[in-house]
Amino acid sequence: MGNKSMMQHWLDTYPPKKEVVQEKRKADIIVKPKSGLGHKSLEKLEAEITLDIHGLKSTDAKREVLDFIKLCYKKKIRRSLIIHGKGKHSEGNAVLKPMVMNILSSDARVACYGEARKNEGGWGASWFSPVIAPDK
């Protein structure tokens, strides 16, 4: 399977959700509109919890990431880290990072996300902050 057909397969498998496409990009931080969070301060926070999916198959990794987002949302964790690796062991292009970024960009429970700091894994990891719903 060539790069072009792999990309088309990827887009067919993980199509972007159009209702969440409106985002602003600031440096390496992507902020969804009306998140209500100070993304600059969130970027500086240490991750409260980490998920390491590098080395997993994409189907298993996707399930783990979705479960992790659900947990972070329920527990109101301010900043979470997902280690997906740089794709050096993938055949062809990296698989997990694009999948993680697609999930983070389309999941309504995610307020903002971006590439991890160098000391957290840099390009091989991504951070996110869930939407924090007010207590009832």
Burial track 7-21 (b if 16+ CB lie within 10 A, e otherwise):
eeebeeebeeeeeee
Coil vs helix vs strand at 37: coil
Contact between residue 93 and residue 85 where contact means Cβ atoms under 8 Å apart: no
Contact between residue 49 and residue 73 where contact means Cβ atoms under 8 Å apart: no
CATH topology of domain 26-130: Ribosomal Protein S8; Chain: A, domain 1 (3.30.1370)
pLDDT at position 23: 38
Give me the percent of the chain exceeding a pLDDT of 70.
60
What predicted TM-score, i.e. pTM, was given to this entire model?
Answer: 0.69
What CA–CA distances, in Å, run from 43 to 24, 29, 58, 84, 110? Answer: 15, 8, 27, 18, 14
For the stretch 20-78, pLDDT in tens is 333 333 334 455 544 444 555 666 678 889 999 988 999 999 999 999 999 999 998 98
Domain ranges of the chain: 26-130
Query: CB atoms < 10 A from the CB of 103, how many?
Result: 21
Contact between residue 92 and residue 79 where contact means Cβ atoms under 8 Å apart: no
